[in-house]
C-alpha cells in the first residue's frame, strides 16, 4: 500500500483481548513450526478463534503443515487469509511464485510482518500464534516493536548444546521487556518400537535447563509447559497437513501437545 500511512496493529492496542504468542527457538529443526501448528489446531478444536502468522520468512512451512492450500484474497484493501482445520493462516509463501526463495533484508521483513499483522483481516481472534524464524534476528525485534504484548514460547530439544542456544533466543525478552510464557521440550525421547522402553535420542534435561536459565535471567518464573516425545505420527501429520492433535489426539505426542495448548 505504497504511499499510505501504516495501519495500526490491532493486537497491540490497549484493551485487545487477543492473546499473542511468539513461538521461538534457538536452532532450526527442533520442531518449532510443528509445535505452533499443533497448538493452533488444538486450540481451534477447543472452540477458540485462532490465527497463525508464519513469520519464519525464509523457512516458511506452516501452510503445508496445517493443510492450508488456499490463497489469500483481497477484499477492499484488506487481505483475507485462507483457513484450514479451523485456523486462519498467512504466510509469505502465499505471495511468492512456486517455491521461489525470499531474498530480503531486515527492513523488508519488518514491512511484511507489519502487513501480516495490520492489513490481514483476522476478525476477533482469541489467540494469535507467530511462528518466528530460529534465533534472535530482525523478525524477533520487529515482533517486539509491533506487538510488545506478545508472550514468548520457547521450543527446545533435550540436548544440552541446543538448550544453550534456545536460552539465548529466549533471553531477548529481557531487552524487549516481553514475558516468556514457558518452555516446550520437543523430541523428548522415543519409545522403542520393540520393547517400549524410552530411548533418549537427544539426551535429557534441555527443557528444564532452559526454563531455569530464563527464570534466572528474567527474574520471573518460566515453567516447562510440557515434553513431546518423538512420534512418527507427528511427522506424518506435518507432511500431510493433518495435525496429529486432530488425527490422533490420544497418541503420546498428540496428548502432550493438547495438554500444552490447555495451559496457554
Ligand atoms: P522447526 O520449525 O524448528 O525448523 P519443524 O517443525 O519444521 O522444525 O520440524 C522439523 C522436522 O522434524 C519436521 O519434519 C517435523 O515433522 C519433525 N518433527 C518435529 N517434532 C517431531 C516429533 N516430536 N516427532 C517426530 N518428528 C518431529
Domains of the chain, earliest start first: 17-262 (3.40.50.300)
235 lines ligand 1 (CB under 6 A): yes
Query: What is the Å distance from ligand 1's center to 58 Cα?
Result: 16
Q: How far apart are CA 101 and CA 210, in angstroms?
A: 32
The closest of 214, 96, 234, 104 to 165, measured between CA atoms, is 214
How do the pLDDT tens digits run along the chain, 264 residues long?
445 578 899 999 989 999 999 999 999 999 999 999 999 999 999 999 999 999 988 788 999 999 999 999 999 989 999 999 999 999 988 887 777 777 667 777 888 899 999 999 999 999 999 999 998 778 888 999 999 999 999 999 999 999 999 998 889 898 899 999 999 999 999 988 899 899 999 999 999 999 999 999 999 999 999 999 999 999 999 999 999 999 999 999 999 999 999 999
Residues 6+ apart with CB under 8 A from 135: 25, 26, 27, 165, 169
169 lines ligand 1 (CB under 6 A): no
Q: How far apart are CA 234 and CA 121, in angstroms?
A: 30
Other CB atoms within 10 A of residue 140 CB: 22
- pTM of this prediction? 0.95
The reply to whether ipTM tops 0.95 is yes
128 lines ligand 1 (CB under 6 A): no
Q: How far apart are CA 83 and CA 42, in angstroms?
A: 14
Confidence (pLDDT) at 4: 56
Q: How far apart are CA 259 and CA 254, in angstroms?
A: 9
Pocket perturbation via mutation, ligand 1, pick of 22, 24, 30, 31 by most ligand atoms within 8 A of CB = 31
DSSP assignment string, the chain:
-TTSPPPP-GGGSTT---EEEEEEESSTTSSHHHHHHHHHHHHHHTT--EEEEE--STT--HHHHHT-----EEETTEEEPPEETTEEEEEGGGTSSTTPPP---HHHHHHHHHHHHHTB---S-SEEEEEPPSSS-HHHHHHHHH-TTPEEEEEE-S-HHHHHHHHHHHTHHHHHTPPEEEEEEES--EE-TTT--EE-TT-S-HHHHHHHHHHHHHSS---EEEEE---HHHHHHHHHT--HHHHSTTSHHHHHHHHHHHT-
227 lines ligand 1 (CB under 6 A): no
Confidence (pLDDT) at 71: 92
Amino acid at each position: 500500500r505504497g504511499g499510505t500511512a501504516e495501519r495500526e496493529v490491532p493486537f497491540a492496542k490497549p484493551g485487545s483481548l487477543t492473546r499473542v504468542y511468539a513461538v521461538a527457538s534457538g536452532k532450526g529443526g527442533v520442531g518449532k513450526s510443528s509445535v505452533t501448528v499443533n497448538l493452533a489446531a488444538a486450540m481451534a478444536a477447543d472452540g477458540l478463534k485462532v490465527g497463525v502468522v508464519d513469520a519464519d520468512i525464509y523457512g516458511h512451512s506452516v501452510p503445508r503443515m496445517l493443510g492450508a492450500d488456499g490463497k489469500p484474497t483481497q477484499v477492499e484493501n484488506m487481505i483475507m487469509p485462507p483457513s484450514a482445520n479451523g485456523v486462519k493462516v498467512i504466510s509469505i509463501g502465499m505471495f511468492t511464485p512456486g517455491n521461489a526463495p525470499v531474498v530480503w533484508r531486515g527492513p523488508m521483513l519488518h514491512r511484511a510482518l507489519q502487513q501480516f499483522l495490520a492489513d490481514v483481516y483476522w476478525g476477533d481472534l482469541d489467540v494469535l500464534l507467530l511462528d518466528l524464524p530460529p534465533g534472535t534476528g530482525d523478525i524477533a525485534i520487529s515482533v517486539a516493536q509491533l506487538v510488545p504484548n506478545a508472550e514468548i514460547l520457547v521450543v527446545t530439544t533435550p540436548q544440552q548444546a541446543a538448550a544453550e542456544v534456545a536460552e539465548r533466543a529466549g533471553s531477548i525478552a529481557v531487552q524487549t521487556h516481553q514475558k516468556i510464557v514457558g518452555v516446550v521440550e520437543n523430541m523428548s525421547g522415543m519409545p522403542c518400537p520393540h520393547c517400549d522402553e524410552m530411548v533418549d535420542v537427544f539426551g535429557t534435561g534441555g527443557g528444564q535447563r532452559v526454563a531455569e536459565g530464563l527464570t534466572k535471567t528474567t527474574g520471573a518464573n518460566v515453567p516447562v509447559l510440557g515434553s513431546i516425545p518423538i512420534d512418527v505420527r507427528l511427522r506424518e501429520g506435518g507432511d500431510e497437513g493433518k495435525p496429529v492433535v486432530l488425527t490422533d489426539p490420544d497418541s503420546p505426542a498428540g496428548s502432550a501437545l493438547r495438554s500444552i495448548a490447555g495451559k496457554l
